[in-house]
Amino acid sequence: MRTRRITRGLVAAGLMVAVVAPVTQGAQAAVTAGDPTQLTSGFYVDPSSNPATWVRNNPNDSRRTAIQNSIASKPMARWFGNWSNPIGTSVGNFVGAADAADKLPVLVAYNIPGRDACGGHSGGGAGTPAAYRTWIHDFAVAIGNRPAVVVIEPDALGDFNCMNADQIAVRNGMLKYAVQQFKDLAPNTWAYLDGGNAGWVAADVMAQRLTGAGLASAHGFTLNVSNYYTTAQTVSYGNAVNGKLSAAKPYVIDTSRNGNGPGNDWCNPPGRKLGTTSRLGGGAEMLLWIKVPGDSDGSCGTGAGIPAGTFSPVLAMHLINGN
């Protein structure tokens, strides 16, 4: 039983009331704590995701049914970056649609200057640290009191391997600011700093990086975003990271493409497969489809000629069939 849902029912019935129906003590505690999973009735399925848009625009394609049933109809994150203009409107519309459906949206903030410093395929981001601070502030304001899950800047800490000390210090400042914005301005949002994947950075080093980027003020951290390590491998890594933190934090795992485990590369490797669909638990706090299945990692591997972030039915079918 949820206060939000009771209120909506009364409004729909045209009743003017001073108070909402009582909730159980446990439910009231969950609402007070700002747990977005308790304020909603499941994960939001984005009707405007890249796969859903492709399905809608290709009614006669023989791959349509498979992509609709296996990917487009599943909850997944929406990524926001310098293509999301104005950011407040883009975020507000997405979170508002989820809120109206009483569902929990998952959003990815992906606009930090110098983005994808190591991989390069998704380079770009806000032009300056000041521009980023304005952007992420507007992002948090647009969510407001509505429930949400936000992944903060995939790869941002793994990329330290390709940055100098001054660049790292500037990036840490931006990440700390981002974490604090969601804590202060979006009280029903669980914000997670990205912690790379099981094959990238040693657990003790990642724990230090997360701490330096403001993890103490975040709800937790994310793992395996846009990568392929199995859930079991990632749980082991997440627990190892937690073992090196001064205080353990919840973590979530991107399972969108980890059904067959890792390949020989991170960039559109062949033979990968869809993983467990979004759910609570599963070895972590949540298993989520953060990377949109079928969206290219870049012009590489089985996605040669397909820019990063572009949906491809060919890539989608490879993931559905596991080949």
**Which alpha helices (DSSP H) does 18-57 contain, by range?**
25-33, 50-57
Q: β-strands 220-223, 279-280: how paired? A: unpaired
How far apart CA 81 and CA 110 sit, in angstroms, is 5
Active site residue 297: no
Q: Which one-letter DSSP state was computed for residue 71?
A: I
**Which alpha helices (DSSP H) does 144-298 contain, by range?**
165-185, 203-212, 231-244
Cis before 86? omega within 30 = yes
> Which run of H or E residues covers position 193?
strand 189-194
Handedness of CA 270, 73, 4, 84 (dihedral sign): positive
Q: β-strands 148-152, 106-109: how paired? A: parallel
Catalytic one of 99, 155, 254, 295: 155
Q: Which two tokens stand for residue 202?
A: 């040693």
Handedness of CA 124, 130, 133, 136 (dihedral sign): negative
What length is written for the chain? 323
Which residues are identified as catalytic? 155
